Amino acid sequence: MVLSSSSTMKRFSGKVAVVTASTQGIGFAIALRLGMEGASVVVSSRKPTNVDNAVQQLADHGITDVLGVPCHVSDAQQRKRLIQSTLDEAVPHMPRGSSITMISSIAAYQPQATMTMYGVTKTALLGLTKALAAELAPDIRVNTVAPGFVPTHFADFLVRNEDIKKAIEEKTLLGRLGKTSDMASAVAFLASSDASYITGETLVVAGGVPSRL
């Protein structure tokens, strides 16, 4: 992964970033970007081996202030353990006044069986972002990134089939598929003080593909 020169900034020095579903794909790219910008990073996913591998990969990039915690975010007790582990092991090593940034992937969210399909649509995500922002303001900001077509392992068919890949690229104003680093850059902006007056918003990062958000 090639990081832009802007990633040499240290916007997250003295901050702790908890990134769920962060052992590969977009989540890992976000953890890497925030770590490169000085954050103390907490990575998690369901499988302990994946967590250990992610911690090692981050260390290989020179990011050593990392805590790995296995966590299935649909399990309330595991979510509590994730946060408690962060408070017990990551936060005490940070300077007084440090803040925590929580970044969670909707891909890791498992809705209740009683929820309708509407509950997992983009409209519901927009509404959730607005509602949480209103509930947690003014002390906590809540924003969402809506990715375009990014060929992670969940969507590698986009690059396996050349016809599908070409069709998507032709619909994209920038003429290419998205990269995990594109999403990480957007998240880093929204999580930083550069976006201190932004909350309750959804940022579409899709290369110019028309959206209906």
Nearest Cα residue to 142 out of 195, 99, 90, 184: 195
Catalytic residue among 118, 138, 166, 212: 118
118 is catalytic: yes
Q: Which residues of 81-94 are buried (b: 16+ CB within 10 A; e: fewer)?
A: bbeebbeeebeeeb
Tokens of 44: 């998690």
Angle at 81 between CA 126 and CA 32, to 5 degrees: 60
Q: How many Cβ atoms are within 10 Å of 16's Cβ, its own excluded?
A: 23
Nearest Cα residue to 181 out of 24, 5, 33, 16: 33
Active site residues: 118
